[in-house]
Structures are given as structure tokens and as C-alpha cells.
Structure 1
Amino acid sequence: MGAAVYGSSSDLWGTTLLPADVNGSGFGVAISSKLIAQILSVAFSSRIDQVTVTVYSQGILLPVEVDGFSARRGQQGNILTWTEDIGSGLVVVQRSADGLAGWQQLEVKDVTGGPQSYTDVRPLSGIGFYRLCFVSPGGGMLYSPVSAVGGKSAAIVRVYPNPVVDQININSPVSFTRLVLRSARGQTLWRREYAAGVGTASIPVAGLPKGIYFVQVDGTNYQLLKN
């Protein structure tokens, strides 16, 4: 009897095996045979000479090698820099509030090699955790180390002069997108939105009566006295 072949590269029996499965000590083939004797006095025997198992796999090339991934606070936001050595595919810039879960996709672009950068113009108010996810053309994924950087901070925003007479000035090394002026009773007196983000702005207050006012830069409040 000749060799019998079961399955092929186009007939994989609907089974997906991981490398750990194939390399495991329990991986193999179980074979059984059933003999039906019509004459009880006749003895039957069977023998298998050789079993060959071929595992078909789709190679996944790691997409890129990355060096020096880092994040730092800059004038217009948090700046991420890295260098792509080799490879192709896509790079996804991701951000998380705790570095463990809830990774948010910020940017997707092609891997082009060489020095790269990305600026998060709307960083988190607290610490932001960043990483890169490289995706190869075959679907393989490779993550960079996680880099953390402080976000917007009330201590670095200047709201002046205080007391103020005719104009409030706001100066921040990190861009902000919303500016609100409220009275001591919480009434909104002035409001501006900056879609692209700005680092400096001013609020006219010459026509307002003397008293206590609050300037809100994004989510942080600053108290001023109007003379």
C-alpha cells in the first residue's frame, strides 16, 4: 500500500497553531487503526512504517528596529522622538493615562526610516505615557518601550498682572485650547476657543468693575483682583 497524504497548504483543517504549540513536548500525531475480521480464525495485523508531519506557517517579518524613543515637554506640547533603522509598514503613536491600559491612538503613519518626531499638542493634564506600535505588512506588531512625560501644569502658566487694571495676560510654555473669564459668582464673562492651541493670549477687562475674577486656562483656575 502506498503513502497516504491528508491535508495540504490549502487544506489546513481549520486549525491555527502557535509556535508554542508546535514546539511543545505534547505536539504530535495520534494514529489508530480498526481491523474488521470476517473469519475469526484468521489473524490480522497492521504496521505503519513512517509518519511525516508538515506544519505550514505564514512568516511574519518584524516591521522595524527603533532606537532612542523618548518623550519630553516642549513649547507646543509633548514631543516624541525616535529613529527607525530598518523595516516597512506602519507606526502608531499611542498614549495612556497610566501606562497600563486605555491606550489611545494619536497618529498613524508609514514607516520611512531615519529620525522621526510627533508632537502631542493636547497632552493630558497629568502624566502622559507614550509608546509606539509598529505594524508590519504581514500583520506582525512590535511595541517600543514606554516613555512618560508630565502634561500641562498650573505652576508653569503665568496669568498677570495681579492686581490687574485693563488687560489680563496669559503666557504658557505648553499650548492651551480654552480660555474663560468668570466673575466671583461663577458668571462667564468672556470665553475663547483655540482649535490649534496657543501659548499666549490676553483678556480685556478695562470695563469691568473692581473685584475678584477667575481665569480658567483649560481646566485650571487662577484668581485675580481687578482694581
Structure 2
Amino acid sequence: MIPVPAIRGNKIAMLLFCYASINTSLLRAQCVDTAASPTSSASVSTGASIYSFNNPSNAFISDGNRSIAGSLLQLFGDETTDYLQVKGFGFNIPAAASICGIQATVVRSATNVDLIFHTSSVKDIDVRLMKNGVLTGTNEAATGVEWPLLTDGNASYGSNSDLWGSSWSPADVNNSNFGFSISAKIHGTAALFPAARINYISITVSYLVAVLSQQTLQFQVANGANNSAALSWKMNTADAAVTYTVERSVNSMKWLPLQGVPQQNSNTSLFTFLDAQPLSGQSYYRLKASYTSGEVRYSTILPYEYIDNLFLKCYPNPASTVVQVAGVIAGERVVLTDLCGKLLFLSAPAKNNMIQLDVAHLQPGMYVISARNRKIKIQKK
């Protein structure tokens, strides 16, 4: 959970609103993307098609070798190609996951088309997924879009939240007969005989993995010393057989593991990890927990942006019961003294960039709060 201080009045309402907005969007972004290329292909008649795709296996990799459907015999009119169907993607999505969406990318082009007067063209006519080898769900063909002339262009179908009008389980997607099918409409003239060309097909599946309990984990990220990002979390005592990996993202969608081993306090279940070179601007962190059983879980996602903590800020000030001290660096201890320098309180090392101090027991007057070389005066009412 993102730490939210217990501030009274309008400030707490605004912070809670911001937290709710961020948390909702990040939960949607918790889906993981995995992409794969096919290993099996075929040109399959639609029942009305007259053009088959030659060398359908050319769609396995993007190398300039294309699978082509077309003819030199067509005169005026519209005809359709076979389905170019690809399967064998080899997905290995965890059985406990939920499928968020499926996106297919086709690298395709056309020859002998008229992009000026549109007297000849190649367009989608049928684009669908296959469940266990059977065409399934909605047709997502972009029937109004002409395939580009000679130069390959990428066409995307579906998205990370599009299920193509069907329901999908990990078993459906992991099946060797899960696949993608595309057929094109070719419009020709007596002078131009277009051909449909497909260079490469890939599929990206987005899925939601099991999430670690935030209440148990207490995952936090804060500004650390020397412009670093300091992460901390606690291990559930029941989860001793687990390995943690810190992952970072620039957009909360694509994740990269960070090098380094989390440090564990020998007397507690607290883990810490220091990212010495965080990304500039806003970035995101999460934990990947790998269990000996093979199960993988992730923490909720925490946004992060380094703020140069040159000054301490305290509110409310004056205060009567508690003071929120902002601008603390993770690992720092906050000191409370009177004006003569008498030590009244020394905090534990900070886990984030804010510490709450109880001042209810203090006599009314002026006091000093400090963290290393940064100081601020507060008034106790």
C-alpha cells in the first residue's frame, strides 16, 4: 500500500482521492504481457476462397520472406484468399492466472495495388483467433484499411484488454492448437493483379497473476540517500521458501528485473533493496516472489519519482497531538529536541519519506525536529 499520512481536513481528503485514483489504475496495469511466435502454419480454404498462401511457414519470423496469395489471372471483381492460420505459440501461462486480453500483430503488404484511385486493393476480410484449432469469437478485421504497397506495415488486432468476444483460460492459450487466422479480400482489374503478402505474425497475451497480500508484505519505496530509491518489505513467516526479485518499469507495463540481492535483517523479517540508479521522472516498482513449488506471485505496483529532500516540512504546525514530518530520507533517524538541544525523541530508521511524531505529551512551546543536517522548528499548542 502507498503510505498515506493521517492528515486532517482537506489535505487528507485530497491524498486519499489521489491514492484511490493511482491504486485503481495500477491494479489494471498489473496484467503481465508475454509474446510468442508460431511454429505451425497452413493455408486453409474458407469455402469460397480461390487464392492460397504459398510457403505459410514464412510467417514464423520477420525476415523479409513472405507468404503470398494472389494470381495473374484475375480480371475485374473481388475474390478472397485462404485463411493463413498459425498455431503452436508455446505459451506457458500459470494455471491460476486470468487472461486480460490478447493482441495479434501482422506484418503485411500488397503488390500491384492502386493507392490513388483505389481501382485495385488488398484488405482484411476475416481476422479471428482459434481455440483448440477452431475459429472462435469476433471477427476483428479492419475491412476499410488497405494493405500498404510493397513496404511492410504492422497491423494490430485486439489489445491487452480485448478477449475477442470469447472467454479464455490459461489452458486454452497454452494449447498447441491455440492460434490466429487471417483472410484477405483482393480487388483487381484487367491491368493490375494484386497479391496479399504476410511476412510475420505474433501474438501477445496479457494475463493477471496472483498478487501478494499487501497487508502482509508492507511493500514500500522511498527516496534513499545519494539519489537512490530505497525499497523495503516484510516476509510472511509462512513463506520461508521464496525468492524475491525487484522489478522496475518506466510505464507499469513492461518490466525488467534489477540486479542485486535483497538484504534481510537477521533479527526481523524485514528485507531492503537499494536501487542506486533509479530512472529519471516517474517509474514503477514491484516484487516478484518465486516459490519452490514453481508458483510466481507479484506485489501491487508502487509509483516512484525522486524528490530532492533539501528541507523538512512539518504539519500541522502548530500541533497539539501528532506531527507529520515530510522530506525524510529512507534510513534516516528523526530527532526531536527542545531549544536547548536536549534529546526528547529519536525515531527508528525511516522506511519511507514521512514519519509521524507523537507530541501530545510535550509542554506548550517551541521545539526542533532534525534529520541529519536539516532542521525545522515546530510549536506545540
Q: Which entry has the higher C-alpha Rg, 1 or 2?
A: 1
Sort the TM-score into its range (normalised by shorter chain): 0.3 to 0.5
Which structure's residues are more often strand, by fraction? Answer: 1
Comparing both structures, which one devotes a greater share of its residues to helix? Answer: 2
TM-score (norm: length of structure 1): 0.37
